């Protein structure tokens, strides 16, 4: 496993401090975010998953707790769109440059609007995908939001 990914390079370039949290990725897990939290012995609400979505057909990145579901209605409203839906995995991989299961909000191939669920602010450190399967990054929520040029919004159902 490489410790250098486009995500770690982008964070280092932005001067953001982070810790690496490698874990054994299970591609057959029904919910990989929950599997990552369990593998690392961390509460699932502190481990955030990265989802690629479409709002009125335009791509957007959503970062929410691994034990939560995104509310498409809240997402659409936050982006000023009429509707939102999940992006197809192949489209997400092509747009971000990452494999599904390893998508990070940092260092994506193309910058898109990024939203973090507001619950991220409740923690001193959150874990977010580091740009490859089996690697999470631990960082301060405010630094994660800054590095991703994101906004904190109520996004969960």
The per-residue pLDDT for 70 is 96
The per-residue pLDDT for 30 is 83
Q: How many Å apart are CA 3 and CA 157, to the nearest integer?
A: 34
CATH match for 6-153 among 3.30.200.20, 3.90.960.10, 1.10.10.10, 3.40.1350.10:
3.90.960.10
The per-residue pLDDT for 19 is 96
Helices (H), 45-157: 72-78, 89-96, 141-147
Closest CA to 114 of 50, 67, 57, 48: 50
Helices (H), the chain: 6-13, 32-40, 72-78, 89-96, 141-147
The per-residue pLDDT for 1 is 60
Handedness of CA 101, 4, 96, 118 (dihedral sign): positive
Instruction: List the domain boundaries for the chain.
Output: 6-153
pLDDT tens series, the chain, 157 aa: 668 999 999 999 999 999 999 999 988 888 888 899 999 999 999 999 999 999 999 999 999 999 999 999 999 999 999 999 999 999 999 999 999 999 999 999 999 999 999 999 999 999 999 999 999 999 999 999 999 999 999 999 8
The per-residue pLDDT for 26 is 87
């Amino acid at each position: 496993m490489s410790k250098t990914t486009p995500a770690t390079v982008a964070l280092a370039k932005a001067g953001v401090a982070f810790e690496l949290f490698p874990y054994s990725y299970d591609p057959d897990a029904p919910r990989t975010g929950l599997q990552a939290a369990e593998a690392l012995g961390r509460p699932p609400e502190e481990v955030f998953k990265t989802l690629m979505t479409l709002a009125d057909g335009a791509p957007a990145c959503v970062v929410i707790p691994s034990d939560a579901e995104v509310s498409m209605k809240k997402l659409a409203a936050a982006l000023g769109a009429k509707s939102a839906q999940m992006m197809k995995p192949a489209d997400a991989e092509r747009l971000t440059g990452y494999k599904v299961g390893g998508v990070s909000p940092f260092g994506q191939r193309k910058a898109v609007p990024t939203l973090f669920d507001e619950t991220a602010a409740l923690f001193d450190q959150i874990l977010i995908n580091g740009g490859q399967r089996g690697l999470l990054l631990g960082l301060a929520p405010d630094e994660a939001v800054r590095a991703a040029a994101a906004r904190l919004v109520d996004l969960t159902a």
